[in-house]
Chains A and B, each alone.
Chain A
């Protein structure tokens, strides 16, 4: 029989792979949003309807995060920054959930239905933020992939392709930067 002292604390493994993937996707989405605000009229319309100095954060409980801030006529991606206040924070309950969402195994709407995330702050802008995320994802992903992420994929147009190229250029520039 084991003695009481044989029972030790067990520290579970860090999910480093998932964390890296989520971090990379957060970076893509953040840079994507920042660029989309400049080039996509729909995104601009949505973001302009938010109040000045509106901040929005997407995070994983105890994991990576991304912070967006609307300030001085731009929609800035501020990277992974510890935030003490933001107007709306969308928080995934576990890094695995975020990983599954980012790799297209669970669509964002599904994650919302499933309660795999929760929102801190005003829900009034929630729908608007989700629409912005949807547009950004159609910018980032080819249609056959975007299907996994969003409910309805818009038709591909030349403008969309050009915008996608600009977005990727900006993200690439953001990496070297």
Chain B
């Protein structure tokens, strides 16, 4: 049998997504109409310094031209790690300027901050601690739109927001379908100016999302379809996008891939790669995309040796990460190993093109930190969704292999 049964029906699964996706050329110009459809005329734009300096806000503001929609305020000082202090500050700006909707422009932190602001505004309480956890929100939220400027996090379609509380020293995590934006706009202009190294890292981040979603514990037919499409788009475009950053077709393809991967993983959850990547990021401040890209092949290798069922999924993964030709040419027994090799060949090509690191030692992780990374891995929420139980020694093994 050449093709294994790729689509399996799990004994139980849930899938939810309600985000309207607007993708294409001049897609930003659809925003005023979409906002007015939601009864909003005065959005606050939440973004970060990088985005503002790149001049991307101009595109968004310009799109309102000729309509009666005005921008209530632009907040462009969102820090790298969103915190409740910033959230409350933005909320007071929102109130002071009589805004009626929220547009987040940027990467993960701007989007998470905007989600936090939405909670504060809607619940009219500056105490986010009360809403920590899942399903704690009940009131309908303010109109909220997301315009991603990195093609990687997929936050535009996830229902999670993580906001730090420096006072209590915790990372507050919120999950609710109400946090989903009403619509998201994927416009190639917004990602066109990204430098090649970041493009590569965010692209690999999206690939990691798709791969982990495809082998994840909550894998289901719906998420599989999104993950497969995402992987195919990334496989065909990631090298080109790094080579020719100005190519709008490729940029749009990657933005879509990232969004599709986000859809897939937010419903089927991630595993050991993300757990170790979070820990590495937390302790050694390695950017999330880079850490994911380094750890992905090693995480998969760990799975192959541990669980026959996951190995089977990794075998099917070859079809998506390397294409059908490679899949049929490879003997079933070697497919899993080949799939990992295919991912490695992508990363090494990116390494040659723009210097995307392939080892943890290249990104400033020192050997004495490895144990504390492994320890922190065990406390990461993503690990509970790993298809196999991971012990401290095993987590350390994965990290040491990637060192």
Is the CB–CB distance between B381 and A123 below 8 Å?
Answer: yes
Would you list which residues of chain A between 107 and 153 have a CB under 8 Å from chain B? 109-110, 112-116, 118-124, 126-128, 130-131, 150-152
User: Interface-forming stretch among B53-61, B113-121, B167-175, B188-196?
Assistant: B167-175
Is the CB–CB distance between B218 and A113 below 8 Å?
Answer: yes
Is the CB–CB distance between B217 and A113 below 8 Å?
Answer: yes
Q: Bin the interface of chain A by size.
A: 20 to 34
Q: How many residues of B contact A (CB 8 A)?
A: 27
Is the CB–CB distance between B172 and A122 below 8 Å?
Answer: yes
**Cβ contacts under 8 Å, B134 to chain A:** 118-120
Partner of B133, one of A116, A119, A128: A119
Q: Is the interface of A mostly helix, strand, loop or mixed?
A: mixed
Q: In the complex, A98 Cα to B218 Cα: how many Å?
A: 19
Q: In the complex, A109 Cα to B78 Cα: how many Å?
A: 36
Please tell me if B132 contacts chain A, counting CB pairs below 8 Å: yes
Chain A nearest CB from B205 CB (Å) reads 21
Mark B172-186 against chain A: 1 for CB-CB distance below 8 A, else 0. Answer: 110100000000000
**A151-B388, A151-B389, A152-B389 are known contacts. Are A124 and B133 too (CB-CB below 8 A)?**
no
Is the CB–CB distance between B379 and A124 below 8 Å?
Answer: yes
Chain B residue nearest to A152 in the complex (CB): B389
Would you list which residues of chain B between 254 and 281 have a CB under 8 Å from chain A? 269
Is the CB–CB distance between A109 and B384 below 8 Å?
Answer: yes
Is the CB–CB distance between B14 and A115 below 8 Å?
Answer: yes
Is the CB–CB distance between A114 and B133 below 8 Å?
Answer: no
| Besides A119-B133, A122-B133, A151-B389, 10 new A-B residue pairs in contact (Cβ under 8 A), listed by A number | A109-B217, A113-B385, A115-B218, A120-B132, A121-B133, A122-B170, A123-B381, A124-B379, A126-B381, A128-B379
Which 10 A-B pairs have CB atoms at the shortest separation, nearest pair first? A151-B389, A118-B134, A120-B133, A152-B389, A113-B217, A114-B12, A123-B173, A113-B218, A121-B133, A115-B14
Q: List 6 A-B contacts (CB under 8 A).
A: A112-B384, A114-B12, A120-B134, A121-B132, A123-B381, A127-B381
